[in-house]
Amino acid sequence: MRRRDLMTGLLTLAAARATAARADTPPLPVVASFSILADMVREVGGPGVAVTSLVPPDGDPHEYEPKPSDLRTLAAAGLLVVNGLGLEGRMTRLADSSGFRGPVCVASQGVKPRTMTEDGGATVTDPHAWQDPRNGALYARNIAAALAKADPARSDAYRAAGERYAAAILETDAWVAQQFAPIPQARRVIVTTHDAFGYFGARYGIRVLAAEGISTDAEPSAKGIARLVAQVKREHVRAVFLENMTDPRIARALAKEAGAAVGEPVYSDALSPPDGPAPTYLSIFRHNVPLFVAAMRG
């Protein structure tokens, strides 16, 4: 065997060993606060991670109640990924009481937050930043950086996957913008149960009207509903959308009062189960946008 061949052979062998070592390393246990983040972590982490979502698909992250099993899941985690912007109130306390001392990735870090004034006059931060895909791309990169730090052996793979995923998210953003482009400004209105589409509306020039505020924990007031009904009638809005994780009665009552149709459920704060219409972050946009466009066209 020539010296050069021997070297190549040894190097190949060493590379194969390194790959085997990486493949043998058990996946990093990652806990995500809700299903949309869990999907993002899976996209970026691939086979390197084992992801658990505290709030399951179709679950409401605003109404999260810790289960005893969540404490155990969190205690065994190598990384906790949260949204931030005030979405995870009770969850932060859960992380403290589980004894979790691991790294926490705030996926929305670097997002320009939207604030809004609630009925009582209080200024609150809108947590639904992922509804603007440009923020979603930032989430992907933040998650990739956190995974690379928590699991350095796979850092190159995480960073590469994070960049690929961010690019796919931005492609989706361009597609969404294209769908709304032919709709005249005056028709760009959507009505939903809770105010989860503020970032989405700001991104694509859509006015968003909602019965509830940015959380789902307060029932809408009779006065608020009456005002919204009047606005829906005045603007000839054709459909009222309910989110997959909110109480459908509000949208139904609103639509009935205003003489509008109840649209198919749209996905705001939670994915559908795997066999449903929006099992991934990107499929949320592919599902919601045609429904919004059809309602705007009337």
Name which of 87 and 150 has its Cβ closer to Zn ion: 87
Contacts of 246 (CB under 8 A, 6+ apart): 60, 193, 194, 212, 216
SS3 90: helix
Name which of 196 and 254 has its Cβ closer to Zn ion: 196
Give CA–CA dist 207/198, Å, rounded. Answer: 8
User: Does 195 participate in binding Zn ion (rule CB under 5 A)?
Assistant: no
Name which of 55 and 196 has its Cβ closer to Zn ion: 196
**Shortest spacing between CB 268 and Zn ion, in angstroms:** 6
**Shortest spacing between CB 213 and Zn ion, in angstroms:** 9
Stretch that binds Zn ion, among 76-84, 147-155, 233-241, 261-269 (CB under 5 A): 261-269
- Dihedrals phi, psi of 147, to nearest 5 degrees: -65, -40
- The residue count for binding Zn ion (CB under 5 A) is 2
**Shortest spacing between CB 105 and Zn ion, in angstroms:** 20
Give CA–CA dist 89/123, Å, rounded. Answer: 17
User: Does 269 participate in binding Zn ion (rule CB under 5 A)?
Assistant: yes
Give the amino acid at 125: T
Give CA–CA dist 267/249, Å, rounded. Answer: 17
**Shortest spacing between CB 139 and Zn ion, in angstroms:** 16
Stretch that binds Zn ion, among 39-47, 193-201, 248-256, 279-287 (CB under 5 A): 193-201
Name which of 82 and 150 has its Cβ closer to Zn ion: 82
**Shortest spacing between CB 276 and Zn ion, in angstroms:** 18
Q: What residues from 143 to 182 belong to the interface with Zn ion (CB under 5 A)?
A: none
271-294 in b/e form (b: 16+ CB < 10 A) is bbeeeebbbbbbbbbebbbebbbe
Give CA–CA dist 65/257, Å, rounded. Answer: 33
Give CA–CA dist 187/136, Å, rounded. Answer: 26
**Shortest spacing between CB 36 and Zn ion, in angstroms:** 11
**Shortest spacing between CB 128 and Zn ion, in angstroms:** 6
The tokens describing 33, both together, are 């606060």
Name which of 143 and 196 has its Cβ closer to Zn ion: 196
**Shortest spacing between CB 246 and Zn ion, in angstroms:** 8
Stretch that binds Zn ion, among 88-96, 159-167, 168-176, 264-272 (CB under 5 A): 264-272
Inter-residue contact 108 to 34 (CB < 8 Å): no
- The DSSP call for residue 168 is H
The tokens describing 28, both together, are 């990093």
Stretch that binds Zn ion, among 43-51, 164-172, 190-198, 286-294 (CB under 5 A): 190-198
Binding residue (CB under 5 A) for Zn ion from 129, 196, 208, 242: 196
User: Does 88 participate in binding Zn ion (rule CB under 5 A)?
Assistant: no
Stretch that binds Zn ion, among 31-39, 118-126, 191-199, 229-237 (CB under 5 A): 191-199
Inter-residue contact 266 to 292 (CB < 8 Å): yes
Nearest to 55 by CA among 112, 127, 124, 161: 127
The tokens describing 222, both together, are 């009779």
- Summarize as ranges the residues that interact with Zn ion (CB under 5 A): 196, 269
